Amino acid sequence: MRRWPYQLSAEELRAAFTEALDPQLAQHHVVHTAGYQDAIRRIANELQCEATEAALLAYRNADDAAGYARRLLASTATGTMLVDAGFATAGTFTLVEQQQATGITQREIIRLETLAESLIQGADDPRGWFSAVRGALRAGIERGAVGVKTICAYRATLRLQPVDTDALGVAFSAIRIRAERGEHPRLSGSALCHALLFEAAQECRELDVPLQVHCGFGDPDEDLAKTSPLGLRTLFIDPAYRGLRIALLHCYPYHREAAYLCSVFPDVYMDLSLTIPFAGLEGGRAMREALGLCPTSKLLYASDASRYPEVSFVAAVAHREALAEALGELVARGILDTTAAVGAGRQVLAENAKRIYNLTD
Amino acid sequence: MRRWPYQLSAEELRAAFTEALDPQLAQHHVVHTAGYQDAIRRIANELQCEATEAALLAYRNADDAAGYARRLLASTATGTMLVDAGFATAGTFTLVEQQQATGITQREIIRLETLAESLIQGADDPRGWFSAVRGALRAGIERGAVGVKTICAYRATLRLQPVDTDALGVAFSAIRIRAERGEHPRLSGSALCHALLFEAAQECRELDVPLQVHCGFGDPDEDLAKTSPLGLRTLFIDPAYRGLRIALLHCYPYHREAAYLCSVFPDVYMDLSLTIPFAGLEGGRAMREALGLCPTSKLLYASDASRYPEVSFVAAVAHREALAEALGELVARGILDTTAAVGAGRQVLAENAKRIYNLTD
Amino acid sequence: MRRWPYQLSAEELRAAFTEALDPQLAQHHVVHTAGYQDAIRRIANELQCEATEAALLAYRNADDAAGYARRLLASTATGTMLVDAGFATAGTFTLVEQQQATGITQREIIRLETLAESLIQGADDPRGWFSAVRGALRAGIERGAVGVKTICAYRATLRLQPVDTDALGVAFSAIRIRAERGEHPRLSGSALCHALLFEAAQECRELDVPLQVHCGFGDPDEDLAKTSPLGLRTLFIDPAYRGLRIALLHCYPYHREAAYLCSVFPDVYMDLSLTIPFAGLEGGRAMREALGLCPTSKLLYASDASRYPEVSFVAAVAHREALAEALGELVARGILDTTAAVGAGRQVLAENAKRIYNLTD
């Protein structure tokens, strides 16, 4: 999260509720989305201020920054935050600082591609690179990280292809030259990214930690057409990965496909994350659609909030509401009784994550 | 159907309500799906027993097996069962036995790939093989079968490619060698499966019987990404298949695409089958979505039940309910009057199938 | 629009509410769609006649054709019609005639492929052809046209590929030979269509007019599998097209994908057009789904009516209703207040189009 205290402008707040990278969206269009209007209303309701962007910003910018943030975060009732450390910048808390600042236990998720980029220069060939990456993953997990996340969807297609050793060698040489020149060796292309993903998947299986895979909805650096979780089929059916727990993140608009995968493969899980706070009533619709095939033992809560307590807050509140409505519909139809619905809610909001990530209270 | 009497374990019952092949799903997750909870509730309601898995199993395992099965099947109000004989095993009824055991008229649907596999060893080349397959299809239809089903989706992509004669020859030689060695010649790959599908499509057209095509939702032997009915375009637009009736089976999550195809091509039909009993309220949603573009003269009822009367029962009851709700919504909005809605229900539940499969009462 | 007066048969009316080209659909199936039944009901309600196809046709065929058409069109409350002139035939009004006949301002949208086909014979090579096309687009816009529309989806895949100069040269030579022989030079294939689309996109950017792109739902001349707007990614991210306004037309069943594109790219817009009058309650569902991610400042109204005032009327009425319900749901949930919802409705029904097409009142 961004290190508080800080003042927040209207455009910064809007930018927190969109995946757009172009500032024109925050300038002209985000205010015309149901998701943002809903966010304003929910936050204002919590703060007991007028439900306008201006009133909300005036309130939060005048308030004690730490108290304000803690108040919103307390409303999320988050027991443990699993944090993709790949978002870290000079202006964000370290995990240790964040735990102290928020009062919430923080556990790291290792971002695969960021880690792997840092190890290119020291490696002579792909084999050495993979060995270094796997060693670093082991070290990270030993140090307390609880899972690994791949953003392959931003760097290559998610339609996984078998490793092409020749192409891998060529691509590795090219990126290593960039690294030696002092340029940032940005991983991209299927030759590198898929091979890396397969290595990480095997390592996660051996380490008994989940592999998170960004699928679907994200910023426009990705080509959404190539981010369906169905493309990960090799990870689900190849015996080399048997037992690997895979968490499909985001998923929209491929959430029906993700729910199908959860329904037929034993170790596949999914979340809807940012679709819930960003997409207005469509978030609740995605939740109901996902709960068609996806067992409640397979759906995970996630906020996808990376910088602002406002997003954490809206994600948590809207998520609980969407889940309550989806389960409530099943109760109203006589499919679940109240006890079963409450149990299902607990699974999604806490128990599944505790089990899958081996979190101890 | 599985030859009764038999006792049913909890895991067997759960396994009947999932497309998963891995037993972990039945062990740990199926009970956490809306579909299974709904199934338990519906069956218990019919049996007038407590709505728990244990109570239901105790009831059915203590009951007279034949009477129990007939009772559930009677509630489905099934006039004729169209049965894919490709599911037959030593433990299942023959069609003649099944008709006697259930009291319901049984008509065979020929499973193309199973038939074709049995004719590989006797053929010298693809031409001879196709000729044998077409002859066997003709014989099967003359013997009383009413249609042909392809499970190409399990063996190859459904994105149909033009026949590549060279690749076909090579693939046929390879599979024929396996057959001669006494191995089961399992058909797979587009070279064989697409060419076979085109031959079968022509034969069905000549025989004036429908070709059923498994699309979408199925067990994880298929790659869901490659099972959209849109891939069958050649069958819809090539004059060689003009007049061929095609029934798209299952379809989810490509049911909107299937409905589109039904709306623009004269001889394309669709069903939702297992999505209705397996996917909780999502089944009804798929029904409403399908009835956006799909005329009610094109939607077919199907249970997809292969072994257990419980699935037949739940599919029928849930299907009628989903259909009643979808049509009821149109009545509530003034789009259909009650008479038209009842007529539409009759089309979906009986008349369309009778017309398309030339069933006589 | 078809030049009135004319009598309308039942099959002609039905054919106006389907994308099917095969007359069997109008003969046997269109009456069994929710969309058509809804259309009958809405028109009959306007005419105050019995809500049957026969009564409606009797009424309209007996009525004064011009008065009847003007009455339906007046109910649409259309300020300006943007007309794709590529539908023009001997039996349709010219734009000048149509403006006089309807009393509604008409502005032309230039159909790219039709224009480009007319310029093949006069060009020596692709470069000359593109130069002629761009000149003709400039002339058309100077003459008063307000945008350009591409039907690339009907002629090639929408998964845009980089221009292959060699393939382009070969394809151009082949089509030019056909043109010289006096055959109609029908553009098709990605080599020609994508290169043409990129040229037109640059020209539209320079002329500051929107480029409309047919996506998704259309007649079966297109392969729906290849018409997702996600395939247009190059137009969204290549700096060569920066500032180009792109209107994604139709979109269904890719409307969630289109809404995503609208949410992350500043100059992307979308409409649902014919899905609303053709797809029954599914039209309203698509509207609600689109308004998940799509800002109300990005959604456009469109009727897609090309020949009949009946379609214009039903599209307008059903669209307003669907929009009112989608926005009303946001009001009911407290996400928008009434003022904001009314403002959003104005955006979709008029303001967005005025701004994007630079329409002056």
Q: What is the torsion angle, in degrees rounded to the nearest 10, for the CA atoms of residue B258, residue B261, residue B267 and residue B271?
A: 10
φ/ψ (deg, to 5) at B163 = -65, 130
pLDDT tens digits, one per residue of A287-297:
999 999 999 99
> What does the pLDDT read at residue C87?
74
8 Å CB contact of B264 and C21:
yes
- DSSP symbol at A351: I
> What does the pLDDT read at residue C86?
78
Select the residue of A18, A37, A285 nearest C263 (Cβ to Cβ).
A18
pLDDT band, residue B310 (cuts 50/70/90): very high
Select the residue of C233, C236, C263 nearest A19 (Cβ to Cβ).
C263
Out of A11-25, B166-180, B263-277, C86-100, pick the least confident.
C86-100
CA pair distance A308, A314, nearest whole angstrom: 10
> What does the pLDDT read at residue B89?
86
> What does the pLDDT read at residue A324?
98
CA pair distance A153, A111, nearest whole angstrom: 13
E strands, C210-313, are: 211-215, 246-250, 268-271, 299-300
A332 and B CB contact within 8 Å: no
Nearest to A150 by CA among A79, A225, A214, A64: A214
8 Å CB contact of C293 and A283:
no
Name residues whose C-beta falls within 8 Å of residue B23's C-beta, 6 or more positions apart in sequence.
Answer: B11, B15
> What does the pLDDT read at residue C89?
86
- Which residues of chain C fall below pLDDT 50? none
Q: Tell me what the mean pLDDT of segment B306-327 comes to.
A: 97
Q: How far is C335 from chain A (nearest CA, A)?
A: 5
> What does the pLDDT read at residue A361?
61
Q: What is the torsion angle, in degrees rounded to the nearest 10, for the CA atoms of residue C317, residue B283, residue B294 and residue A230?
A: 100
- DSSP symbol at B92: B
By CB atoms closer than 10 A (0-12, 13-18, 19+), residue A196 is buried
Residue B361 has pLDDT above 70, yes or no: no
B-contacting residues in A 340-359 (Cβ below 8 Å)? 340, 344, 347
Nearest to C254 by CA among C353, C158, C326: C158
Q: Is the dihedral of CA A90, A95, A100, A102 positive or negative?
A: positive
8 Å CB contact of A266 and B32:
no
ipTM above 0.90, yes or no: yes
> What does the pLDDT read at residue B6?
96
E strands, C121-167, are: 147-150
Predicted TM-score of the model (pTM): 0.98
- DSSP symbol at C92: B
Q: How far apart are the first and last CA of chain A?
A: 23
- DSSP symbol at A29: I
- Which residues of chain A fall below pLDDT 70? 361
Q: Tell me what the mean pLDDT of segment B158-173 comes to.
A: 97
B224 and A CB contact within 8 Å: yes
> What does the pLDDT read at residue B208?
98
8 Å CB contact of A266 and B41:
no
The secondary element (H helix, E strand) that includes residue A22 is none
B281 and A CB contact within 8 Å: yes
Residue A268's DSSP bridge partners are A246
**Pairing relationship of beta strands A80-84 and A299-300 according to DSSP bridges:** unpaired
Nearest to A42 by CA among A276, A272, A253, A271: A276
pLDDT tens digits, one per residue of B181-201:
999 999 999 999 999 999 999
* 3-class SS of residue B213: strand
pLDDT tens digits, one per residue of B118-152:
999 999 999 999 999 999 999 999 999 999 999 99
8 Å CB contact of A22 and C237:
no
**A257 contacts in chain B (CB < 8 Å):** 224-225, 253
Buried b (16+ CB within 10 A) or exposed e, B112-149: bbbbbbebbeebeebeebbebbbebbeebbeeebbbbb
- Tokens representing A241 are 């990965």
B17 and A CB contact within 8 Å: no
Residue B88 has pLDDT above 90, yes or no: no
- Tokens representing B17 are 């309500």
**C256 contacts in chain A (CB < 8 Å):** 252-253, 282
B237 and C CB contact within 8 Å: yes
φ/ψ (deg, to 5) at C137 = -65, -45
